[in-house]
Structure 1
């Protein structure tokens, strides 16, 4: 089946699979913003936002939230999508941050739910473990990845890593599923100050290579890497490109444009990447 993926911004993508339209971790605020975190002296700076609006995205069948408690995975603009979405899927901790949202489905790690298209098309969503930083920091396990499966997949599933570092949970995904396409959250995120630079919250170039070798996917789609968007994204595209080339996995990687570059020089607003799975 042909799948369309559009990278919106940060960890947000629009997936069009059969008759289903699914968005992940939507961030749609515009302009430069400085966000508080609730911790003294710690804030997140976003230099620019996507030019897309909730209205332009239109009706959705589902939103997959790896974790709604961080503003670079769900902001106020992203929350505007709830009203035009049939179902919001997240983990148990995430539900506590979605007060007043009635259409929430909660999945524990390895829990599964099914989405139904208007034409009877069925797609299963399985939550997978993620580790958003060092184990000793509170809340780093309150994050999910997702595996998407549907009838007719020829060469494995679609895996969305969520915000995670490399850890045993990725090995568990590799043991349970044949992965066709891995959508990996990069960036080598670090919050300095106050945390030491060595502490990371998403995949570094080295960890991305480890993940690819562990998952053995047929293709890799990187997202969550734009240093031009967020100040806390520490590793740029060139660092990843060099690491992928050195490891001999660069032929698997598909760098796709995102909505920040719309419209294109030729006036096109189509940034979809199409692939068979």
Structure 2
């Protein structure tokens, strides 16, 4: 877990892909996973194993204005406790298919679509769905639809949440439209499973450092890098990769 703050964007990593972001007076929560450690049987006989509990329970977070859910189909991005939390949140932004499956307050976005949220100070935050590729080329029929998110406001720095993305070409698309970004929350644990013969399903440490360079990010907060057995890299690998890239000063974690 890490608590990372700046004058305008507060970021708290709770474990796995779950991150609390304070932006424009609003509280955003990414991919909620609050179950205790356990095994999750998934398709084709695979098992995903959660190895660590979250750093906080939902009731300890305060009111959440919106959940930014990259996708709903994998338990390491939305588990049972996370699903229960959605009923208490006024808005969940996710994929179009995910919104259909979840119902309730879920709203589906395709990459490039935006929604504006009212801020307590009377301004607005724009949330734009970013593209994401959850594996190698051609993975979508197997891994499903996934999105990331970009938060912008006229008086605030830009925040990018990658979601489960393994592609630097996707990162370049985001940088071309929104870069440079101030804070990049990168799902950076080098997730691998037997699917696609162990190919990357999210960024690894080396690609995360390159993503930071592409985005021109002032600050990179790694998520999705601990708490699950199929995350193959953690904080040590990230520190080494950013140091070797000459970007150690951009990496923010406890």
User: Shared fold (TM-score greater than 0.5)?
Assistant: yes
Q: Distance in 2 between matches of 1:147 and 1:36?
A: 32
Q: Distance in 1 between matches of 2:22 and 2:71?
A: 21
Q: Distance in 2 between matches of 1:235 and 1:51?
A: 19
SS of alignment partner, residue 173 of structure 2: helix
Instruction: Find the partner of 2:8 among 2, 17, 21.
Output: 2
Structure 2 partner of 1:122: 124
**Deviation for aligned residue 1:23:** 0.6
SS of alignment partner, residue 105 of structure 1: strand
Q: Distance in 2 between matches of 1:242 and 1:54?
A: 33
Structure 2 partner of 1:163: 164
SS of alignment partner, residue 97 of structure 1: helix
Asked if 1:152 is matched to 2:165, the reply is no
The alignment's TM-score, normalised by the length of structure 1, stands at 0.83
The alignment's TM-score, normalised by the length of structure 2, stands at 0.91
Structure 1 partner of 2:27: 21
Instruction: Check conservation: 1:58, 1:84, Cα contact below 8 A.
Output: no
Structure 2 partner of 1:266: none
**Deviation for aligned residue 1:204:** 1.2
Q: 1:249 to 1:96 in 2, by over 3 A?
A: same
Q: Distance in 2 between matches of 1:51 and 1:220?
A: 20
Structure 1's unaligned 5+ residue stretches are 257-277
Q: Distance in 2 between matches of 1:123 and 1:86?
A: 15
Number of aligned pairs? 246
Structure 2 partner of 1:244: 242
Asked if 1:108 is matched to 2:114, the reply is no
Q: 1:121 to 1:139 in 2, by over 3 A?
A: farther
Instruction: Find the partner of 2:251 among 250, 253, 269.
Output: 253
Structure 2 partner of 1:224: 224
Q: Deviations over 1:125-160 (max 9, x none)?
A: 00000000012232446111100011212xx41111
Superposed, 1:1-277 pairs within 5 Å as 2-30=8-36, 32-39=37-44, 41-98=45-102, 101-137=103-139, 138-140=141-143, 142-153=145-156, 156-178=157-179, 179-192=181-194, 195-197=196-198, 199-226=199-226, 229-256=227-254
Q: Distance in 2 between matches of 1:254 and 1:225?
A: 13
**Deviation for aligned residue 1:119:** 4.0
SS of alignment partner, residue 19 of structure 2: strand
Structure 2's unaligned 5+ residue stretches are 1-6
Q: Distance in 2 between matches of 1:29 and 1:201?
A: 22
Q: Deviations over 1:220-251 (max 9, x none)?
A: 1111111xx21101113222211111110111
**Deviation for aligned residue 1:97:** 3.2
**Deviation for aligned residue 1:73:** 0.6
Q: Distance in 2 between matches of 1:3 and 1:126?
A: 17
Structure 2 partner of 1:267: none
Q: Distance in 1 between matches of 2:14 and 2:114?
A: 25
Runs ≥4 in structure 1, deviation > 3 angstroms? none
Q: Distance in 2 between matches of 1:29 and 1:62?
A: 20
